Chain A
Amino acid sequence: MIAIFHVLLFFMIIGSAVAIETKNMLSAVIAVGAVGFGVSLLFLFLGAPDIAITQVIVEILSLIILIRATTFADNRAVERKIDSFATITGLFFLGFFVMATVWAFSDLTPFGEPLMVVSQRYLAGSSAETGAVNVVAGVILDYRAYDTLGEAMVLFTSVLGAFVILRRRGKKPLDEADTEQFGIISD
C-alpha cells in the first residue's frame, strides 16, 4: 500500500514541475489538473472518500474555468534570464527547509495514528449523538457547524467580490480611451 503512495507522490511532483516549466499555458493547466487528480486518488487510498469526491469535482470545475480563461488570454511565455545569485540562494534555502522539515517530522506519531484525542471522541460517539452514519457529515454539520458557517460566509464574500469586479457595467461612465485600450465590449 505504501508503494502506491510513493508512486502517486512522485507523479504529483513531476506534474508540478511540468506545470511550472512548460511554455504553453494550456499544457500547464492540464498538468495542474493531473496533480489534482493524483491528490484525489491519494485521498481515496487513504480511506477518505468524502474528500476524494469533493477534490475530483472541484478539480473538474477549476480545470474548466482555467481552460476557458487561458484560451482567451495572451499566451506568450515570458523570457527568463538565468540569474546565478538567485539560483544559489534558492538552492540554499531549499536545502535549509528540507532539513528543517525532516527534523520537525521526526517528532510526529507513526503514519495512521492520530495525535488528537478529540477526533477519537468524535469517532466513538458520532453515530449515537448526531444520528448520522457518515461521520464526516456528523462532524462538519453538528459538532463543527460553526466552522461550516464561516466557510459558507467566505464563499459568499468571494461571490460578492467576483460580481463587483467582473460586472458588465461600471458605476462610472466608460471613456472612449478606456474602450480602445482594454477592448471591452459594450452592449
Chain B
Amino acid sequence: MDLKELSRDESRGMTLIVKTISRLIMSFVILFGCFIIIYGHITPGGGFAGGIILTIAYVLLLLAFGGKVAMAKLSNFWASMWDNIGALSFVVIGFLGMTGGYFFLNFLDHGSPGHLVSAGMIPLCNIFIALKVGAALYAIFIGLSVYGRIVTEEEK
C-alpha cells in the first residue's frame, strides 16, 4: 500500500476528526519550529527547543495516523541518519574554527547584531543542533512505541 491508502485506512490510527485536525495543524507546528530554529540567535529559543518542536510534529503524525504512516514519512533509518549528519556537521564546524586558532572559534563574519544573517556560525550551529536533537528524540519515540512491544492480556 502506498502512503495515500495507508493514511486513509480507517483501521489505523485515530478517528477521522483527529486525522483531519492533525493534518491541518502539523504544517503550522513545523513552521513554528523552523522559526524558533532560524531566529534562535535573536529571539528566545534556539536549536534544542526548535528541534523538539519538529519532533512533536512527527509524533503528532504518528499518534494520529499510526506507526506505519509515520515510518513511511520518516523511517528509523533516516531518523538516525539525520541524527548522524547533525552531529558530524557540528563537529566539523568546530574543527573549521581551528583554521583561525582554536576549537569552536567563531570564524565567520559577525555582521551587525539584530539582523537575521549575523553572529557568524551561531545560526548554522542552531540548525545542526536542531537536526540532531529532533531526529534523535524522534528515533527514541519510534523505538519506544513502534518496535515490538509487549502485548498485555487484554489485547490477546
List chain A positions with a Cβ less than 8 A from chain B: 49-50, 52-54, 57-58, 60-61, 64-65, 68-69, 72-74, 127-128, 130-134, 136-138, 140-142, 145-146, 148-149, 152-153, 155-156, 158-159, 162-163, 165-168, 182-187
User: How many angstroms from the CA of A69 to the CA of B152 in the assembled complex?
Assistant: 12
| 21 sample A-B contacts, Cβ–Cβ < 8 Å, listed by A number | A50-B44, A53-B36, A61-B137, A64-B141, A132-B42, A132-B113, A134-B46, A136-B44, A136-B46, A138-B122, A141-B46, A148-B125, A152-B90, A152-B129, A152-B132, A155-B136, A156-B87, A159-B136, A162-B140, A162-B144, A184-B151
List chain B positions with a Cβ less than 8 A from chain A: 36, 40-49, 52-53, 55-56, 59, 63, 76, 80, 83, 86-87, 90-91, 94, 103-104, 106, 110-114, 118-122, 125-126, 129, 132-133, 136-137, 139-141, 143-145, 147-152, 156
Q: List the A side residues contacting B47 at CB < 8 Å.
A: 141
Q: List the A side residues contacting B91 at CB < 8 Å.
A: 149
Give 8 nearest A-B pairs by CB, closest first: A131-B110, A49-B44, A145-B104, A131-B119, A132-B119, A166-B143, A132-B41, A183-B151
Interface centre among A50, A74, A127 (most CB of B within 10 A): A50
Q: List the B side residues contacting A148 at CB < 8 Å.
A: 125, 129
Q: Chain A: interface secondary structure? A: helix
Residue of B nearest to A126 (CB): B113
Contact (Cβ within 8 A) B46 A145: no
Knowing A132-B119, A152-B132, say if A159 contacts B49 (CB, 8 Å). no
Residue of B nearest to A165 (CB): B143
Partner of B52, one of A57, A142, A166: A57
